[in-house]
Amino acid sequence: MKERFKSLTWKQTILVVSAALFFAVAIFIVEISWLVNDARKTLTTNQHELLDSVEQPATNAVWALDDVLATQTVQGLIKVQHVRSAILELDDQSPFVSVNNGAMTTSPQIFQDISAELFGDLKQISRNIYRPYYVDSNGNEELIGTLIVAYDTQELTNSLFLTLRLSLWATLARAFLLTLVLSIVFHRFLTQPIARISNSIDNIDPESPAANLLPIPSSHQDDELGLVASKLNQILVQFDKTQTKLRKMATRDPLTGLPNRTLLLETIAVTISRAKQQQCQFVLLFIDLDRFKTVNDSLGHEVGDQFLIRVARTLELISANIGTVARLGGDEFVILADGLESPAQAADFVDKLLKQLNNPMLLNEHTVHPAASVGIAIYPDDGLRADDLIRHADIAMYSAKAAGSNQWAYFKPQMTERAAVRLKTEASLHDALNNDEFLLYFQPKLDIKTGELIGCEALIRWQKDGRLISPISFIPVAEDTGIIVPIGRWVIEQTCKTIRDWQNRFQVSIPIAMNVATQQFQNASLVPDIKQASLRYQIAPELLEIEITETSLMNDIESAITKLQQLKVAGFGIAVDDFGTGYSSLSYLRRLPITTMKIDRCFVSDLPDDSAIASTILMLGKQLKLNIVAEGIENEQQLAWLQDRGCQIGQGFYFSEPLSAGDFEQKYIVVKPSAIKTIS
């Protein structure tokens, strides 16, 4: 394209130069003709005026034969420009006075020929001199002499040529300036617009043709060039609409209409390129909805889809001025916040986002309380590529989710190591089930007043490579990946097996409480799994207590009541674990078919200084006629306070840490079996 651009420029320049020179030559020829005619007229006029001016003194000099006056008169003539000689003759043609101005101007023959051609008839002029104041009877004047003036026409021609030469240079200069001006004008108003259109055609992005429409200069809006550009722009717009439809099908989430992962990656890449040029930062937020599976499973996929659409619209509204919202799939969203440039701005925005997102939503007569976990990654500190930023924000989101609902976290390099450990842990958990690497530890529950064994709580441990791994390290991973359900089945199986084993070996029936994770509780197989295990090992249902967190119950209260009712009718004990840390309503608590309430360790640890909540829970449990278990007892002051307030059962390190099955047997069954008590 550059070669064609140059060719057009040179062609128009040559055309302008040729036209300018042609008109310059034509004008110069006309100017020559005009100058020659003007020079002849001027010379003729000057000649007659000259003769008129000296006619009277010449007449007087000849009539009086005054040679001095005649000489003075003639000498005055040769001082006139271009006059070569002057002669004053008498009537008999004899010279009276003659004056010469020197040799004639010499020039090349061609100039002499031109001079003869132009001024040959004006080389000499004469006038007759008559007797003063005399006229004969016939009315004729008496001739007394002749005045003859000769001109140096070659000098006149040379002067004319000098003038013409200057005129020629002036004409050429005008032609050059005209050429320059016309070239600039043509380049500015014709060639340059064409070149811009050509460059714009080169810059058209096939993916977004309407983003680079051809420029139409205001001076060409109503001419052929503007018409061509307009027609091409119409084609580009139409092509862009078609391209947009195809692109939307490939780059938009069909449910919410938000950009999908493909479009998000492209958008992030463009944002990274712009951020590099401007040397600025931007923020990427990874948002995962908390408890979405509960909504989907309990209310149905149709309501779940409505929920996702409402969340998408809310995120778009919140992010309208700071960036782009995308849906990666499921309940995962990403906000590319190129309007945020610092961690502080990101934190302020996320706080506002979560507050707005937490507003209750009414979906098909169901009120849903949205919540989310948010991970924050910042370019370029947390990644230089789109995939890295998304991955790191995702890792930060998991860190936030581990801290509880409605939390957010910045990405930190240490999280990558934890994510790697997380992936390794996930893979190892599957192997642990197959390789029988899990085992149960038991923490006793004692009568606070007598110290007698009431029962125990089964706590899972993972024995790997000769060391025990705390459930804090692997239970969150198991819950996120769904493997918690088969692990929970294993716990049910082993708990029932242990109860039967103690019955067979020691002839004692010790109630064992086992924890049920949220996902396991929501699983439809929970009640059948518990019933089948108890039947398989032939244990009394009252020896098995199901511990469920308050939060698990409140995710779907109606479904929870149904499941708990089935378990209670079958005779199993039901305990609400971590009571007081959730948001259960007292009206719901009254409806829950539970047998035991556990005071969370966070309230027990504040005793006896801060006892308001513990006192309330104890009073509430007594009113509902429930067994009350205080967990996390660590010192004598806490125990004394609970004894004084009538708490029935205690559990904590003050009595014993969780023990292996063998150690528990030695400490509480083999040594003092009579210290086992059942509370009804």
Which range of 16-20, 33-37, 103-107 scores highest in mean pLDDT? It is: 33-37
Is 70 exceeded by the pLDDT of residue 5? no
Is 50 exceeded by the pLDDT of residue 518? yes
Give pLDDT, residue 336: 93
Give pLDDT, residue 57: 87
* Mean pLDDT calculated for residue range 180-199: 73
Give pLDDT, residue 519: 84
Which range of 99-108, 135-144, 637-646 scores highest in mean pLDDT? It is: 637-646
Describe the crossing of helices 2-63 and 153-186 by its angle, rounded to 10 degrees. Answer: 160
Give pLDDT, residue 139: 80
Our CA dihedral for 592, 598, 601, 602, rounded to 10 degrees, sits at 30
The amino acid present at 24, given as its one-letter code, is A
* Cα–Cα distance for residue pair 514/523, rounded to 1 Å: 16
Q: Please choose, from the candidates 547, 541, 529, 464, the residue with its C-alpha nearest in 3D space to the C-alpha of residue 493.
A: 529
Whether the CB-CB separation of 220 and 226 falls below 8 Å is answered with yes
Describe the crossing of helices 484-506 and 413-434 by its angle, rounded to 10 degrees. Answer: 50
Q: Which stretch of 102-106, 188-192, 632-636 has the lowest confidence by average pLDDT? A: 102-106
Better-scored residue on pLDDT, 164 or 654: 654
Whether the CB-CB separation of 96 and 88 falls below 8 Å is answered with yes
Q: Which two tokens stand for residue 359?
A: 């507003």
Whether the CB-CB separation of 386 and 259 falls below 8 Å is answered with no
pLDDT, tens only, 591-614 = 788 889 888 888 898 888 888 888
Q: What is the bridge-based pairing of β-strands 83-90 and 143-151?
A: antiparallel
> 219-236 as b/e, with b when 16 or more CB fall inside 10 Å?
ebeeeebbeebeebbeeb
Q: Which two tokens stand for residue 377?
A: 């990654």
How buried is 503 (Cβ within 10 angstroms: 0-12 exposed, 13-18 middle, 19+ buried)? Answer: middle
Name the band, by pLDDT with cuts 50, 70 and 90, for residue 540.
very high
Whether the CB-CB separation of 132 and 59 falls below 8 Å is answered with yes
* Mean pLDDT calculated for residue range 348-360: 90
- Is the bond leading into 380 cis (omega within 30 degrees of zero)? yes
Model pTM above 0.75: no
The amino acid present at 355, given as its one-letter code, is K
Rg, the chain, Cα only: 57
Is 90 exceeded by the pLDDT of residue 111? no
pLDDT, tens only, 227-281 = 777 777 778 778 777 777 776 677 888 899 899 998 899 999 999 999 998 889 9
Q: Please choose, from the candidates 398, 371, 406, the residue with its C-alpha nearest in 3D space to the C-alpha of residue 477.
A: 398
pLDDT, tens only, 466-503 = 888 888 888 888 887 788 999 999 999 999 999 999 99
Q: Please choose, from the candidates 433, 481, 435, 482, the residue with its C-alpha nearest in 3D space to the C-alpha of residue 460.
A: 433
Is 80 exceeded by the pLDDT of residue 17? no
End-to-end CA distance of the chain: 95
117: left (phi over 0), alpha (psi -120 to 50) or beta: alpha
Q: Which stretch of 382-386, 399-403, 525-529 has the lowest confidence by average pLDDT? A: 399-403
pLDDT, tens only, 80-96 = 877 888 888 888 888 88
* Cα–Cα distance for residue pair 312/297, rounded to 1 Å: 20
How high does pLDDT run on average in the chain?
82
Better-scored residue on pLDDT, 311 or 117: 311
* Cα–Cα distance for residue pair 371/331, rounded to 1 Å: 11
* Cα–Cα distance for residue pair 133/62, rounded to 1 Å: 14
* Cα–Cα distance for residue pair 574/598, rounded to 1 Å: 11
Q: Which two tokens stand for residue 624?
A: 């509902």
Q: Which two tokens stand for residue 416?
A: 């990558």
Q: What is the bridge-based pairing of β-strands 332-337 and 282-289?
A: antiparallel
pLDDT, tens only, 392-410 = 999 889 888 877 888 888 8
Query: Helix (H, G, I), strand (E, B), or coil: what is residue 655?
Result: coil
